[in-house]
Amino acid sequence: MAFCPFSHRVRLMLTAKQIEHHKIYVDLIEKPEWYKDFSPLGKVPALQLTGVKDQPTLVESLIIAEYLDQQYPQTRLFPTDPLQKALDKILIERFAPVVSAIYPVLTCNPNAPKDAIQNFENALDVFEVELGKRGTPYFTGQHIGIVDYMIWPWFERFPSMKINTEQKYELDAKRFEKLLKWRDLMTQDEVVQKTALDVQLHAEFQKSKTLGNPQYDLAFKGTP
């Protein structure tokens, strides 16, 4: 599904690695029966390895990302140091509270908690501080790496809140100075640009989802 941020993670990896692939989009509300053959629990994304014996299928975006990085090492995105690799995977997992906090607002849920934005910013503070500690433009150093790509899909979607909510929300320039600079750098990345969907499409989809009739075909207006 083109609007799924977890699927977006895998598209970023495949594009960064320049791996030839074929995309099949499924309706997340009414998944086709055949999809269970590839993902028994119905999770997305799922990656079938057609060039491997028995053509196994991988699920879970971070698992897929790690496999692709090891299988196609010409452009390493995970750190080679085992400890740093573990720390980066932990940092990626720490993004979950950010997603949980902002999801009700991002999806235009009328019952979103009043403190959702505050909880979102508090969770995001972890990444502002971490970027400062690392002292580099990207979370992985001087060049884009796995942390950057794994959290980027949500940053692409955050601006849709300006369209769908009355708050016209933007991150505080002083509180999130480093993250905003990082965000600007990320938008200049060729891989990010190739996999991007227009913010208006994200906003239209989120609105349709809130109304109970998610328009998945909106993706075909601009799916990379």
Active site residue ranges? 4
- Binning the chain into helix, strand and coil, the percentages to the nearest 5 are 55, 5, 40
* H-only helix segments in 75-145: 82-93, 96-106, 116-134
The DSSP secondary structure of 155-206, one letter per residue, reads: HHHGGGHHHHSTT-----TTTTHHHHHHHHHHHT-HHHHHH---HHHHHHHH
CA distances from 156 to 8, 91, 192, 193, 199 (A): 10, 19, 9, 10, 7
According to DSSP, residue 217 is labeled G
User: Which helix H or strand E contains 13, and what residues bound it?
Assistant: helix 5-16
